[in-house]
Chains A and B, each alone.
Chain A
């Protein structure tokens, strides 16, 4: 995660309640779904605006997912830690992760 984030390298993920999470593009690409959305030529709005909305994913879940993105990058670069998941959100998180292919 570079300290200075150029605007082009971030994407905005919007939860069902309207919360906006700004994350690195590289982090967001951990999700195959988001990767496809952002790179495929079809979805113009997502590609151009750099914003993706998820009406089915609630805010705490989306927050956890963003945390996972960064954890994933960290893990792949060698630092292996444990990713803890609170039991209450596990079920929804599982379904959201399934949807996001992550």
Chain B
């Protein structure tokens, strides 16, 4: 799971807002400096951005800042929003066109322009406000967001004189970024806001760190603004606040702060909380950020972020209990949630088999007897031949130390470039049908293959709905495949399947059915009674995130002949459920796909070992799969295993692959993607053991070179292909760094007859000269994926 640092806060483009702001506001006389300043929204505000009336009202008031009694601030975010609206308004009023434009632009330029405007407006406001010089912390933290906004705004403005106004003006714009619409859910808003801010603030913080001493405020502002994050202003505000002892800090303090070399707020996140806190200087307990910012009775251990002025805030006291309490509870919540997002670093020492006995580094694997060494010899011979051939004529041209294979475009007209694939009539018809899916009356007589293609096409086009699915379910179908059931609701699903005749149903695929398939629906439709699905052998319920162990149990009772189950990404299933399922289906289960389930591999191992006929096992993405698991599994089932998928099982090392190579001689398909602890010996073992791969998927395996010979990995892969690639139909060498000429040659020579899918993405060492189809008369490569390969691979030929 990725570490969730912050929710992505889509930066609102200032543009949509600017038009509204652009309504020129004449300088209206200052409103009375009182809480009423926040008064009723004025018509000009009416078209304010979505934040709504109160904000605009506040904005109005803001322009004319009136000192008002400090009121508890509820949400910095909303405050900032209104503040920014207000700022915008005032800016609009005060500044000229350029101000508005400045605001519209989200860059620094905008700042400048608006900054200028700001100063102008500020000065006049200053006059109006009667000396609310700079920072007026006395603004009431009123309930209405506008109120707080007002405050913010004023504060921001106050800063003007000493700092370039750019930053300030920029902030209001920035603040608009906060998209919190609802005034109500303060908490959520705060959360969201804070998260968004968190992100930016942390970024900002970093940004500011760099320019720590006595940068101009605008610089600081820039640092902050870079993130284009709304809360910037609030951040700043916070910083400012932090500086102050009490909400009623005079502007002078603020200036002092600003002038100082302290970087402004990099208050990480928790806008709302922070705001509250700063007002009272309480302990800011950053829940979510808690991890990042330890609030230890100080304002924010900005030390974490390297912010210099942390100590200053010590004198802040918790004055407002509710806010603090909220912070506390939020923090607790965050602590509970945190482990979920924690990044797990697998212990290096781990249980294995670091006795990678295969790895006696002195021992050159190429010397070991077996198919691998034979293959390596072949490759070496080839290399020598090529070298000698090339050395003869223009050896002077030999620039690189790598083997260069001369490539000449084929002049044979028949073997032209990829023939433009004409869409078949069947595909055209399926496409046409899927577009008009609603008009299909019946699918009687349509063979299964066509049905599947049709349902796939319809799902892709998102035209699948209850009526269409009903067509597939009607009658007594033998196979139903729906790759995407996410459109269905519980009622629809129930309606469709409650009357379905499932006697002959052998294959059922309902992927992405999470929304519509909780346990009780399953029990009321498909698994209504034991043996309701008498012929069902294959079921796929990928993404059934509401299915729990009980549902699985009822399914197993209803379908006693189930031999292939796909439970990928069923998050509610536990190891116990799997174990009981496996035990129930002990005599018949052949294929089990457990991708990305939250289970413990070792727990289910005994049940797996008892299976009689296991042929396919996929445990992709399950972190608890270890070498031990693999060892035991293959020792029991090795001889009959046909397909193994270990994508992303990061703990596996070469020892597992060795076990696989030794025991799973009939293996047809192996997926070792994203296993970063494999080295070249793994390839050796595979080559020596499994001789008949049909599908080999490797991705991002480093295959670290343990020997000193250059290009060993390339040769090792080539040797593997040479030895075992005779029947390869799908090959993926995605991001295997060392893949280069030898591998290409091996592919061309050995795999070309059968290969249907080839993936050489990110193999940067392959070059133009690599020729895959040089000597092969009839090669049909259906898919060649060459993403990010810097040079083109010439491939294919003939249709």
A: which residues have CB within 8 A of B?
65, 68, 72, 75-76, 78, 80, 83, 85, 87, 90-91, 93-95, 97-98, 100, 102
Cβ of B446 within 8 Å of any chain A Cβ, yes or no, is: yes
State in angstroms the CA–CA spacing of A3 and B439 once bound together.
41
Which of chain B's residues has its CB closest to A80's CB?
B420
A97-B432 contact, Cβ under 8 Å, with A91-B440, A91-B446: no
- Whether A87 lies near B447 (C-beta < 8 A) is no
Which of A76, A85, A91 has the most chain B CB atoms closer than 10 A to its own CB? A91
Knowing that A80-B420, A91-B429, A94-B433 touch, tell me 16 more A-B residue pairs with CB under 8 angstroms: A68-B428, A72-B425, A76-B420, A85-B428, A85-B429, A87-B432, A90-B429, A91-B446, A93-B429, A94-B450, A95-B447, A97-B424, A97-B425, A97-B426, A102-B425, A102-B426
- Whether B446 lies near A95 (C-beta < 8 A) is yes
- Whether B436 lies near A90 (C-beta < 8 A) is yes
- Whether A65 lies near B425 (C-beta < 8 A) is yes
- Whether B439 lies near A94 (C-beta < 8 A) is no
A98-B426 contact, Cβ under 8 Å, with A87-B439, A91-B440: yes
State in angstroms the CA–CA spacing of A100 and B432 once bound together.
18
Write out the residue numbers on chain B whose beta carbons fall within 8 Å of the beta carbon of A87: 432, 436, 439
With contacts defined as CB atoms under 8 Å apart, how many contacts are there between chain A and chain B in the complex?
56
- Whether A94 lies near B422 (C-beta < 8 A) is no
Tell me how many residues of B have a C-beta within 8 Å of chain A: 22
Write out the residue numbers on chain B whose beta carbons fall within 8 Å of the beta carbon of A93: 425, 429
B: which residues have CB within 8 A of A?
419-420, 422-426, 428-430, 432-433, 436, 439-440, 443, 445-447, 449-450, 454
Query: A21 → chain B, closest Cβ, in Å?
Result: 15
- Whether A85 lies near B422 (C-beta < 8 A) is no
State in angstroms the CA–CA spacing of A93 and B428 once bound together.
10
Which of B423, B425, B432, B436 has the most chain A CB atoms closer than 10 A to its own CB? B425
Write out the residue numbers on chain B whose beta carbons fall within 8 Å of the beta carbon of A78: 420
A72-B422 contact, Cβ under 8 Å, with A90-B436, A98-B447, A98-B450: yes
Write out the residue numbers on chain A whose beta carbons fall within 8 Å of the beta carbon of B419: 76
State in angstroms the CA–CA spacing of A76 and B428 once bound together.
15
State in angstroms the CA–CA spacing of A68 and B429 once bound together.
11
Query: A18 → chain B, closest Cβ, in Å?
Result: 23
Which of chain A's residues has its CB closest to B429's CB?
A94
Write out the residue numbers on chain B whose beta carbons fall within 8 Å of the beta carbon of A85: 428-429, 432
- Whether B450 lies near A95 (C-beta < 8 A) is yes
Which of chain A's residues has its CB closest to B433's CB?
A90
State in angstroms the CA–CA spacing of A38 and B156 once bound together.
86
- Whether B446 lies near A83 (C-beta < 8 A) is no
State in angstroms the CA–CA spacing of A42 and B428 once bound together.
31
Write out the residue numbers on chain B whose beta carbons fall within 8 Å of the beta carbon of A90: 429, 432-433, 436
Which of chain B's residues has its CB closest to A78's CB?
B420
Write out the residue numbers on chain A whose beta carbons fall within 8 Å of the beta carbon of B446: 91, 94-95
A97-B429 contact, Cβ under 8 Å, with A87-B436, A91-B440, A91-B446: yes
Query: A61 → chain B, closest Cβ, in Å?
Result: 10
Query: B450 → chain A, closest Cβ, in Å?
Result: 6
A interface, over-half SS = helix
Write out the residue numbers on chain A whose beta carbons fall within 8 Å of the beta carbon of B445: 95
Write out the residue numbers on chain B whose beta carbons fall within 8 Å of the beta carbon of A98: 426, 447, 449-450
Write out the residue numbers on chain A whose beta carbons fall within 8 Å of the beta carbon of B440: 91
Partner among A75, A91, A97 whose Cβ is within 8 Å of the Cβ of B422: A75
A-B contact pairs, 23 of them (CB 8 A): A68-B425, A68-B428, A75-B422, A76-B422, A78-B420, A80-B420, A85-B428, A85-B432, A87-B432, A87-B439, A90-B429, A90-B432, A90-B433, A91-B429, A93-B429, A94-B430, A94-B433, A95-B446, A95-B450, A97-B428, A97-B429, A102-B424, A102-B425
State in angstroms the CA–CA spacing of A68 and B447 once bound together.
22
Query: B487 → chain A, closest Cβ, in Å?
Result: 23
- Whether B433 lies near A75 (C-beta < 8 A) is no
Which of chain A's residues has its CB closest to B419's CB?
A76
State in angstroms the CA–CA spacing of A93 and B445 once bound together.
13
Write out the residue numbers on chain B whose beta carbons fall within 8 Å of the beta carbon of A91: 429, 433, 440, 443, 446
Query: A6 → chain B, closest Cβ, in Å?
Result: 24
State in angstroms the CA–CA spacing of A75 and B450 once bound together.
24
Write out the residue numbers on chain A whose beta carbons fall within 8 Å of the beta carbon of B432: 85, 87, 90
State in angstroms the CA–CA spacing of A34 and B422 once bound together.
18
State in angstroms the CA–CA spacing of A6 and B382 once bound together.
52
- Whether A83 lies near B450 (C-beta < 8 A) is no
Query: A81 → chain B, closest Cβ, in Å?
Result: 11
State in angstroms the CA–CA spacing of A1 and B447 once bound together.
34
Write out the residue numbers on chain A whose beta carbons fall within 8 Å of the beta carbon of B424: 97, 102
State in angstroms the CA–CA spacing of A87 and B440 once bound together.
9
State in angstroms the CA–CA spacing of A68 and B430 once bound together.
15
Query: B694 → chain A, closest Cβ, in Å?
Result: 24
Query: A97 → chain B, closest Cβ, in Å?
Result: 4
Which of A78, A87, A90 has the most chain B CB atoms closer than 10 A to its own CB? A90
Query: B196 → chain A, closest Cβ, in Å?
Result: 47
A94-B436 contact, Cβ under 8 Å, with A75-B420, A76-B419, A76-B420: no
A94-B420 contact, Cβ under 8 Å, with A85-B432, A87-B432: no
Query: B183 → chain A, closest Cβ, in Å?
Result: 51
Query: A24 → chain B, closest Cβ, in Å?
Result: 16
Write out the residue numbers on chain A whose beta carbons fall within 8 Å of the beta carbon of B433: 90-91, 94
Write out the residue numbers on chain A whose beta carbons fall within 8 Å of the beta carbon of B423: 75, 83
Query: A80 → chain B, closest Cβ, in Å?
Result: 8
State in angstroms the CA–CA spacing of A16 and B770 once bound together.
53
Write out the residue numbers on chain A whose beta carbons fall within 8 Å of the beta carbon of B430: 94
Write out the residue numbers on chain A whose beta carbons fall within 8 Å of the beta carbon of B420: 75-76, 78, 80
State in angstroms the CA–CA spacing of A83 and B432 once bound together.
10
State in angstroms the CA–CA spacing of A98 and B426 once bound together.
6
Which of B419, B433, B440, B449 has the most chain A CB atoms closer than 10 A to its own CB? B433
State in angstroms the CA–CA spacing of A102 and B449 once bound together.
15
Which of A68, A75, A83, A94 has the most chain B CB atoms closer than 10 A to its own CB? A94
State in angstroms the CA–CA spacing of A5 and B437 once bound together.
41
Query: A79 → chain B, closest Cβ, in Å?
Result: 11
State in angstroms the CA–CA spacing of A90 and B454 once bound together.
12
Query: A27 → chain B, closest Cβ, in Å?
Result: 12
State in angstroms the CA–CA spacing of A91 and B444 once bound together.
10
Write out the residue numbers on chain B whose beta carbons fall within 8 Å of the beta carbon of A68: 425, 428
State in angstroms the CA–CA spacing of A85 and B420 once bound together.
21
State in angstroms the CA–CA spacing of A85 and B435 once bound together.
12
Write out the residue numbers on chain B whose beta carbons fall within 8 Å of the beta carbon of A102: 424-426
Which of chain B's residues has its CB closest to A76's CB?
B422
Write out the residue numbers on chain B whose beta carbons fall within 8 Å of the beta carbon of A76: 419-420, 422
